[in-house]
Amino acid sequence: MSDPQPQRRAGVVGVLCAAGFMVVLGAVTTRIIILQTHPPTELAQFVDDRTSSWEVEPIRGDLRDRRGRVVSTSRFEYRLVIDPVTFPSEPDRAIVQLAEVTGLPMAELGSRIITTLGENDIRRRMLDEWNAPDRSADEPPKTKLGRFLQQVGLTPPPRDDTGQELTAWASEAGSPPPMIRYLPFKPLVDLETANAVRLLRIAGVSFDRVAVRDYPGDATAAGLIGKVGFGHVGLLGAEITFDTELHGEPGLVRYVRDDGGRPLWVGSGDWKNPVRGDDIRLSIDLELQRIALDELRRGITDAGAAGGRLIMLDPASGEVLAMVDEIVTDVEAEPFPFIKLGEENANGPAPEVDPDHENWPRYQVVRQDPKRAIHPALGRNRCVEDIYEPGSTFKPFVWARAHAAGLLGDTEKIQIADARNYRTPYGRRLADVTRRAELSWDEVLLFSSNIGMSQVAERLEEKDLRNLVHNLGFGSPTGLGLPGEATGLVTNARDWTEYTQTSVSIGYEIGVTPIQMVRAFSAFARSGDLAGTMPQVRLTAQSADDPIGNLVERVYDPETALRVRATIEGVAKRMDANRERTVENPVEANYRLFGKSGTSKIAVSPPPGYGLPKYGRGYFEKQYNSSFIAGAPFDEPRLVVLVIIDDPAPELVRIGHAYGSWVAGPVVRRVMERSLRYLGVDPDMPQSDLASGG
């Protein structure tokens, strides 16, 4: 075939060339459409991976007391952060300036910065060594073709490591440590200082905004309010109980970043404002809390006690108005000689206590709580976390049940032939503090007769008493919401004996928490038809939306509740009479109290891993929890107060002045007087009584 015409030859080549180009353009177009509409799955991660986001911490809501006083609130402070990589390499001047403006100690500031600069120099050298250009060529080929070509010898094999050796450290670690870029300093500074530092325009200096929690209420209610921990998250107390509500919703900023990860801009719709957390109005009243703390401390001091607890509850709403837990750290008491299990016969004689229980020193009965010293909120809240045996304060519950069942005749009298040496039908020895040969059922409660109560218990069926205990909420948490709440100890049906029946009727063999006690006692302190029911205890102030009755379950009929109230008013009167007789300048009683004292032995409970010493028994000898629980005013009770004085001084025990009505009762009276007056409650004590009381 002869060559075509010259023009034609060029034309043909040109057309072929252009046609080839069209094919390429077609292929490229197809490829673009495929990439833009259906990118390969492997590619997808590289397409989407151009934005990052950071959470904007919401401002935590405030905790307020029931009257709106702020007890816990958040604000921002600023943490000085230095990036040693960009910090001036001649740091002296910058360090001096920083120290002057921030007030941070220059020595610490300087030594940390300079040390880190030195460390970074070392790391930079390591990294340079690691990133030396001849390293990458040594890496084996990562693709199949690369490996193939290497195998057939078309590319040189990896060189031997005869060149520059990595340091042993870097070889072992795989790669050198990264440069230090974040060097935070304490303490935090305020915005003004931070701005002053910014004006210095020192490279590598920045500030982190840090939320700080303030507690304007000081330590008055620290144990109840709790504390926030790392990350401004509730850690203890009400802070953790209401953490969800307080925390708020974090905001979100989604931003486009460059290859270095630096944020470039925030696209429209990529900013979500943080929602401030809700404020929580707690049920406590800071003033009542302060009164409670004052009076409890005074009571503890007066009694020379090792500690004390107080709970004030509004029986109508179940709101906890005050809650105090005090431990005396410098009380003169010996640690109890528990035996470490597994080391009974180890070196030396085994620890023991006095075999006759006569020469009994004052032992430490309140477990020490060293964390309290760090921060009051860190301590255990013994009002909800620790159980105790309520003793005589438990008697009204059992008495009321028997009375409601018609087992206690109004005119019936019980005869106690030998109050010194009384034995129950099954042979258990019991004794009374106030010994009387004849007692009416009312007097059994009034004089807190153990013998009388044992007879009450005999008239009740075991199942009946057991149900009562459960109905009163013992053995199950109150639902207050504070962390670590104890459920209490209630003997189960299988182990429930006649011995238990008697013990429970006088407040032993049952472990309760103070909060359970005040809730149960509220059954006697609610008004009208609600008398005999228990409220749901709560840590938040009642609002208009909440059900007013706050009824949990009826335990007694109203008549029984009022009957108990009337009966135990006598106990309060006896306490007051005693108080007025023995205390100098006693507080004037303006409100009719109804209450019950209790003085219970303290159970010896070995810590985990320890056992009782030789001759040790279940209870501490001559060491007591003296408590008093009461409600007031009489007709429309507004408050229920429980005071427990832990381990009154041995001197008081010796002279018989350590009973609940001696050490705890006056505290309850004083708290009631001051609190009810603060609440504006009209005094209900009859004028004649007032006169005599004055």
Partner 1 sequence: MLRTGHIVVLCALALLTLGVVMVNSAEMAVSPMTPEAAALNAGVTQEGVTFQSIATSTAAKHMLMALAALTVAALFPVGLLRRAVGRVGQMFSPLVLLSVGVIVLVGLLATVYWSPIARPVNGSNRWVTVGPIQSIQPSELGKWFLIWLIAAYAVWVGRERLAKFWVGFVPAVVAIGIVSAFVVLEDLGTGVLMATAASLVLLAAGGRVLHFALIVPLGLVGIGAAIIQNPYRIQRVSSFLDPYADPQNSGFHMIQSMATVAGGGVTGRGLGNGLQKFGYLPEDQTDFLFAIISEELGLAGAMLTLTLYAVLVWAILAIVRRQDDPLLRLGALGIMATIVIQASINLIVVTGLGPTKGIALPLLSAGGTGWILTAACLGLVVAIDRCSRPVQSAIDEIADDQSDDLQTPVLA
For the bound state, the minimum distance from the C-beta of residue 73 to partner 1, rounded and expressed in Å, comes to 22
Residues counted in the chain = 694
For the bound state, the minimum distance from the C-beta of residue 25 to partner 1, rounded and expressed in Å, comes to 5
Query: In whole angstroms, what separates CA 241 from the centre of its chain?
Result: 7
Smaller CB distance to partner 1: residue 211 or 407?
211
Smaller CB distance to partner 1: residue 51 or 97?
51
For the bound state, the minimum distance from the C-beta of residue 75 to partner 1, rounded and expressed in Å, comes to 16
Smaller CB distance to partner 1: residue 47 or 373?
47
Query: In whole angstroms, what separates CA 139 from the centre of its chain?
Result: 55
Half-sphere exposure in the Cβ direction for 604 (13 Å, CA):
21
Tokens of 686: 């009859």
Look at residues 560, 194, 528 and name the one whose alpha carbon lies nearest to residue 408. Answer: 560
Quickly list H helices, 248-311.
286-303
What 3-state class would DSSP assign to 192? helix
Query: In whole angstroms, what separates CA 254 from the centre of its chain?
Result: 35
Q: What is the spatial distance between Cα 47 and Cα 661, in angstroms, rounded to a whole number?
A: 78
Q: What is the spatial distance between Cα 186 and Cα 519, in angstroms, rounded to a whole number?
A: 45
Q: What is the spatial distance between Cα 640 and Cα 537, in angstroms, rounded to a whole number?
A: 12
What is the radius of gyration, based on Cα positions, of the chain?
A: 38
Tokens of 559: 């008549």
Q: Judge contact between 319 and 379, C-beta under 8 A.
A: no
Q: What is the spatial distance between Cα 218 and Cα 237, in angstroms, rounded to a whole number?
A: 15
Smaller CB distance to partner 1: residue 36 or 347?
36
Q: What is the spatial distance between Cα 222 and Cα 324, in angstroms, rounded to a whole number?
A: 9
For the bound state, the minimum distance from the C-beta of residue 46 to partner 1, rounded and expressed in Å, comes to 4
For the bound state, the minimum distance from the C-beta of residue 23 to partner 1, rounded and expressed in Å, comes to 9
For the bound state, the minimum distance from the C-beta of residue 377 to partner 1, rounded and expressed in Å, comes to 31
Smaller CB distance to partner 1: residue 263 or 558?
263
For the bound state, the minimum distance from the C-beta of residue 142 to partner 1, rounded and expressed in Å, comes to 4
Q: Judge contact between 311 and 642, C-beta under 8 A.
A: yes
Smaller CB distance to partner 1: residue 107 or 264?
264
Smaller CB distance to partner 1: residue 207 or 363?
207
Contacts of residue 336, Cβ cutoff 8 Å, sequence gap at least 6? 363, 364, 365, 604, 613, 620
Q: Percentage helix, strand, coil, to 5, in the chain?
A: 40, 20, 40
For the bound state, the minimum distance from the C-beta of residue 216 to partner 1, rounded and expressed in Å, comes to 27
Smaller CB distance to partner 1: residue 4 or 229?
4
Tokens of 369: 């709580």
Which residues form the interface with partner 1 (CB under 8 A)?
Answer: 3-15, 17-18, 20-22, 24-25, 27-29, 31-33, 35-37, 39, 42-43, 46-47, 50, 54, 136-137, 141-146, 149, 154-156, 198, 206-207, 255-260, 262-266
For the bound state, the minimum distance from the C-beta of residue 161 to partner 1, rounded and expressed in Å, comes to 18
For the bound state, the minimum distance from the C-beta of residue 268 to partner 1, rounded and expressed in Å, comes to 11
Tokens of 688: 């004649």
Smaller CB distance to partner 1: residue 39 or 103?
39
For the bound state, the minimum distance from the C-beta of residue 19 to partner 1, rounded and expressed in Å, comes to 10
For the bound state, the minimum distance from the C-beta of residue 135 to partner 1, rounded and expressed in Å, comes to 12
Strand partners, 325: 309
Burial 533-567 (b: 16+ CB within 10 A, else e): bbbbbbbbbbeeeeeeebebebbbebebbbbbbeb
Q: What is the spatial distance between Cα 219 and Cα 612, in angstroms, rounded to a whole number?
A: 36
Peptide bond into 187 cis (omega under 30): yes
Smaller CB distance to partner 1: residue 21 or 169?
21
